[in-house]
């Protein structure tokens, strides 16, 4: 039986340290056994795409007191910390997930704070139900995010330079056939070129045969060295899951990243992306605003995309944590969250950082003893604990313990 069944709520004077039970999300793109194995549970044959830890309305973590984390925080708002209360009110500003993808997620982007407020107010004024498939803004929050690889992890993130993409289509041997679609990549610069091509791709309709021409050429270049081979393999991999889908051409406009365990990508608002496969820790603002751009059967709001997506070519960098002596921090710059990694050596004891704010600690390997004011809680892989602001907690053991806190 899992250790969390034996866990308890530890009351530390006026505050609490709460063990959180994760909330399963069974999206069809998820793996069937990876998260189950991490949690030491038996796989049930159904996708287990994500495990959520936080206070999101669609996945509010239960605690062992019988209340959810959001219910607890509504009664104990000081547990969030003064800076969080002043900036975000009585709301935990971040959400922590284990994400495990067996197949590509949709092409998507997320709004900035101003865009989210405007979009949510507009759709609410129009009376679009929150549960409607055509609703783009479910709340008025932004949704920057960071993904940290636990396994080898493949992702498409941000637009490649348009001239470079045009060169790759030419090397694939389809430049002339695609001239009516990709011409702006050669003739125009930066944002206008990419915006025009994306809009054209989303309306290909009767020209879907162009996608098949690209795929036929890609099959002939699967073993090509360097960027061309990766470009060809990306097209064929996407076609396996979305046969002849025109948005494959939009996906081919993006940079491809291959992360090794421990490496990360930070995605600000407006950056179009798709996670292709792999398992990682995802930390994001506590929002459900997703604008889909393709590789999906769900609603695509073209007008909202034009407003939210940044069509500027990006030079995204692979991030690594910096620090020493077992305490490391990932270089993100978001108000809603920051992320630390505790990795003790020789069963050393490390102080959980950011005692000024509420934190979620999630173990992904090993075993940890969480100690504060004489009380002790033990957690292992897939187990998480919320630590209130003002609590000094030390972690000892071995393995990897991620710590999410607010960015303010």
**59-60 and 254-259 beta bridge pairing:** unpaired
Catalytic residues: 292
The C-alpha angle with vertex 188 and arms to 182 and 189, in degrees rounded to 5, equals 115
Distance from C-alpha of 77 to C-alpha of 89, rounded to nearest angstrom: 9
* HSE toward the beta carbon, residue 97, CA cutoff 13 A: 27
Phi, psi for 313 (deg, rounded to 5): -60, 140
Q: β-strands 359-372, 394-405: how paired?
A: antiparallel
Kindly state the tokens that stand for 79.
């547990």
Is residue 106 within 8 A of residue 28, CB to CB? The reply is: no
Which residues are paired to 62 by β-bridges?
68
User: What would the two tokens of residue 147 be?
Assistant: 């993904």
Concatenating the DSSP letter of every residue in 205-227 gives: GGGTHHHHHHHHHHHTTTT--HH
How are beta strands 264-267 and 145-149 bridged, if at all?
antiparallel
Which residue in this structure is represented by tokens 């008025």?
140
- 261, 150 in Cβ contact below 8 A? yes
Tokens matching residue 170: 């030419």
Q: Give the angle 175-181-185 at the CA atoms, nearest 5°.
A: 70
In whole angstroms, give the CA distance from residue 369 to residue 167.
Answer: 54
281: helix, coil or strand? strand
Dihedral (C-alpha) 196, 202, 203, 204: value to the nearest 10 degrees?
100
| CB 103, CB 277: distance < 8 Å | yes
Cβ atoms of 94 and 283 closer than 8 Å: yes
């Amino acid at each position: 039986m899992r250790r969390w069944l034996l866990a308890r709520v530890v009351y530390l004077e006026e505050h609490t340290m709460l063990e959180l039970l994760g909330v399963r999300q069974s999206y069809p793109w998820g793996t069937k056994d990876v998260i189950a194995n991490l949690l030491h549970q038996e796989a049930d044959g159904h996708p287990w795409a994500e495990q959520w830890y936080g206070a999101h309305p669609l996945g509010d973590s239960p605690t062992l007191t019988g209340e959810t984390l959001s219910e607890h925080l509504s009664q104990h708002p000081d547990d969030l910390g003064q800076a969080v209360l002043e900036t975000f009110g009585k709301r935990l500003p971040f959400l922590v997930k284990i994400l495990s993808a067996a197949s590509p997620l949709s092409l998507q982007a997320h709004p900035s704070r101003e865009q989210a407020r405007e979009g949510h107010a507009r759709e609410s004024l129009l009376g679009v139900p929150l549960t409607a498939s055509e609703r783009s803004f479910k709340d008025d929050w932004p949704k920057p995010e960071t993904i940290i690889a636990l396994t080898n992890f493949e992702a498409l993130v941000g637009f490649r330079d348009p001239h470079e993409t045009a060169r790759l289509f030419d090397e694939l041997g389809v430049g002339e056939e695609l001239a009516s679609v990709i011409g702006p990549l050669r003739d125009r610069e930066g944002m206008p070129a990419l915006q025009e091509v994306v809009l054209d791709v989303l309306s290909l309709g009767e020209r879907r045969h162009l996608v098949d021409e690209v795929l036929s050429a890609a099959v002939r270049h699967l073993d090509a060295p360097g960027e061309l081979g990766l470009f060809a393999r990306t097209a064929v991999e996407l076609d396996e899951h979305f046969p002849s889908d025109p948005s494959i051409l939009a996906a081919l406009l993006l940079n491809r990243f291959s992360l090794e365990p421990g490496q990360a990508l930070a995605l600000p608002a407006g950056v179009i992306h798709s996670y292709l496969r792999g398992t990682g820790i995802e930390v994001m603002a506590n929002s459900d605003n997703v604008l889909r751009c393709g590789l999906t059967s769900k609603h695509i709001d073209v007008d909202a995309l034009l407003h939210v997506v940044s069509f500027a070519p990006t030079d995204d960098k692979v991030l690594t944590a910096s620090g020493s002596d077992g305490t490391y921090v990932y270089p993100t710059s978001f108000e809603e969250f920051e992320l630390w990694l505790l990795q003790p050596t020789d069963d050393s004891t490390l102080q959980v950082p950011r005692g000024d704010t509420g934190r979620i600690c999630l173990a992904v390997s090993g075993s940890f003893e969480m100690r504060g004011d004489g009380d002790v809680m033990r957690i292992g892989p897939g187990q998480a604990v919320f630590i209130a602001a003002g609590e000094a907690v030390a972690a000892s053991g071995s393995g990897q313990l991620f710590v999410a806190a607010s960015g303010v």
